[in-house]
Each structure stands twice: as structure tokens, then as C-alpha cells.
Structure 1
Amino acid sequence: MADSPENLAERTYRFARDVRRIVNLMPSSTATREDIKQVVRSSGSVAANYLEAQEGLSRNDFFYRIKVCRKEARESQLWLKLLAEDSDPSTRPEIAHLMDEANQLTRIFASIAHKQDDSDA
């Protein structure tokens, strides 16, 4: 979990990009359309909020954005899990990879957020 800020920015970008690529391969139904909208939003929000954190106006703003990143990465896991259940078997390995990446990002952001809790104690 020793990603530098530049590597983490690229990693969150790739996560959002890869989510967009895989959802374009998903079958269209009422449920999947809504789940796709949600996962596109949440995965993009991880990347966008991390960029905002890097430009944080204050220490509190930085940690607030990091916590939003954690929340959005966790939310992405849910939408990906739901999509995996309705996906074509050929896309499931890629969705599983994205779920793992969302889990890793959640853990990274939780670790960063925990540093604030430690320093505030």
C-alpha cells in the first residue's frame, strides 16, 4: 500500500476508466442500466475526489476528500458485485479484478484517513 500520490492518482484514474470500459460490454436491462450509472458515478468520484484532495485547501479538507474516496470505492464494490451477478460469464473475471481493485483502494484510503484519527488523538 505504499503508493505515491502520483501513482495513486493514476491508479484511481485507471480504475474509473476500466469500469467505463467493462460496463460498455454489459447487457442492457432496467436493473443493469441503473447499476451501471451508479458504478460509473462512484468510480469516477474516487478519482475526482482524490484529485481534489491533492489540491486540498486545508488539512481537514484533504482528509474529508480522502474519506469520500473511501466511501465511493466501497460503494463501487457494491455496484460491481450486483453487475457481476447479471453479467456474461466472459466479463466476470474483469469485474472480479475491478472489485478487488475497489477493495484495495478502500483499504488504502482507510489507512490514509486513519492517520488523521491517530494525529487528532
Structure 2
Amino acid sequence: MKSDLPDRTFAFAERIVKLCLALESDSSVAATLMRQLLRAGTSIGANVEEAQASESKRDFVHKYSIAVKEARETHYWLRLLAKTDIIPPSRLEPLTAEANELLAILTSICKKNR
């Protein structure tokens, strides 16, 4: 059965990009946080995509492990943006929930393949 995870992480990255584009700011603090979110949030899917062409099981787990770290970091930046009211928390709830779900899925895949 083919996984929908590459499509799901791509869609998540797309949502992160759109959020960052919509919230471009003159504030250097907000801009720095948005760059961090953009980098981490798009890296999840990039690593999942790389894992699809992994050369070995070890390489596959390595790529997914990086995706786990990036999902954790993305979740962190989303929480920080919400907590500091740079972005209204209600606007970030769906993305934060998806980041949590992706983190759980990726972690499970890593554990099963170790």
C-alpha cells in the first residue's frame, strides 16, 4: 500500500509557505521567526521525499529521523509565534495540530523500521 505521507507533508509545507507569505512583517523579530518556521516546516516533506529514494533501510530511517527533528522544530516555532501573539493562536491551531500528527506518524515509522 502506497503511503500518502509524501503528499501530506507536501501539503503541510504548502500551508507553511502560504502562511509565511501572508504574514510578511517589517518586524525583524517576526521576520526571523517566520524564516525559521519556513525552513523547518518545508524540510519535513523534503526529507520524507528523499527517504522515498533511500539506498538502504538505514538511510530510510536516517531521513525520517531528520524529518522527526524538523517536525519538532516546526511545532516549536508555531507555539512560539502563537504564544507571543505574532500570529493569533486560533490561526495556528490547525497547523499545530497537523505538525503534532506528522510528528507522531514519523516517530512511529522510525521506531518500526529500526
Same fold judged by TM-score > 0.5?
yes
CA distance in 2, matches of 1:4, 1:39: 29
Deviation of 1:87 (Å) = 3.0
Q: Counterpart in 2 of 1:87?
A: 86
* Structure 1 residues 79-107: Cα deviation after superposition (integer angstroms, max 9, x where no partner): 11122233354xx3331110110110000
2:105 equivalent among 90, 105, 108:
108
Give the total of aligned pairs. Answer: 112
**Structure 1 unaligned residues grouped into runs of 5+:** none
Q: Counterpart in 1 of 2:66?
A: 68
Identity of aligned residues (%): 35
CA distance in 1, matches of 2:18, 2:6: 18
**Structure 2 unaligned residues grouped into runs of 5+:** none
Q: Is the 8 A contact 1:49 1:68 kept in 2?
A: yes
Q: Counterpart in 2 of 1:13?
A: 10
CA RMSD of aligned residues (A): 1.7
CA distance in 2, matches of 1:27, 1:36: 8
User: 1:64 aligns to what SS in structure 2?
Assistant: helix
| Residue 24 (structure 1) aligned with residue 24 (structure 2) | no
User: 2:54 aligns to what SS in structure 1?
Assistant: coil
